[in-house]
Amino acid sequence: MTRTLPLHLAAIAVIACASAAPAAAQVMAEPDVTEVAKTPLRDLNIDGRDIPEVLLAAERNPYNAAGLAKCSAIVTQIAALDEVLGADYDIAGAKDTDRLNEGRIGQSVVGSIIPFRGIVREVTGAAGNERKLRAAYTAGMARRAFLKGLGMGKSCAYPARPRAAK
């Protein structure tokens, strides 16, 4: 029974996540059933996440204005970032950021299966990979903010600029 307890806990977490209603638009997507199930694999650096090319480009030069003379070019780049990052703050806002989420709870439960998780993540390189991924997301958010500021300076219409407050 003791050997199967972690598996039972993981199954409960997965079932709880599967029955959860989808979250509204947000800057970073909440973990879903697949993400919860992959938590131990990511902790052991078996199933890493690839950094999308649009975020790698943002890391290389987040303030590159080449080829952005027209508003349509700005909209195209913002759309590519939105696809990876999720909705921008002017859409998602700050609502529901502190609420309990089934996906985060499930990830925590499943992640607790691995003893000394923090040390394991450092040794396997998973923590370093996560830091790189977070840095890429930060660069992508900086790039999107730059693009919207550039669009605002050029008097472009939304979405090439921040959405007007309601």
Phi-psi region at 96: left, alpha or beta (left = phi > 0; alpha = psi -120 to 50): left
Q: For residue 56, is it within any domain?
A: yes
Q: What pLDDT, in 10s, does the model give residues 52-84?
A: 999 999 999 999 999 999 999 999 999 999 999
**Number of structural domains, the chain?**
1
Which of 151, 155, 154, 163 shows the shortest CA–CA distance to 76? 151
Model pTM? 0.63
Which structural domain range is residue 57 located in?
A: 5-153
Torsion of CA 63, 67, 71, 77, to 10 degrees: -60
Which structure tokens are listed for 73?
A: 């070019």
Q: Among 115-124, 138-147, 151-160, which is the least confidently predicted range?
A: 115-124
Q: For residue 163, is it within any domain?
A: no
Q: For residue 160, is it within any domain?
A: no
Q: What pLDDT, in 10s, does the model give residues 94-141?
A: 555 555 666 667 666 666 666 677 777 777 777 778 889 899 999 999
